[in-house]
Amino acid sequence: MSRFVHVLPMDDVIPHEGTPDCVCGPYTEAIELRAPNGPGPVAVLYRHYAVIPCRDWEAAPEVS
């Protein structure tokens, strides 16, 4: 099982899309989710690049 999660700045000056094709060119990182018993599912994080320093970030599943 794999998941795609986008970490998006919510108060940036440009609108971000929760897709790999976002204009900011998000950076991808594979992470393993923690599970109580042994290894959990692997997820891919897309870290979006904020144009201005943002305080308000949100992790959201990829929109299909």
d(CA 49, CA 55): 13
20 CB-side CA count, 13 A: 6
End-to-end CA distance of the chain: 16
Of the residues 24, 43, 45, 60, which one makes contact with Zn ion according to CB under 5 A: 24
Shortest CB 4 distance to Zn ion, Å = 13
Shortest CB 39 distance to Zn ion, Å = 29
Shortest CB 2 distance to Zn ion, Å = 20
Contacting positions for Zn ion (CB under 5 A): 16, 22, 24, 48
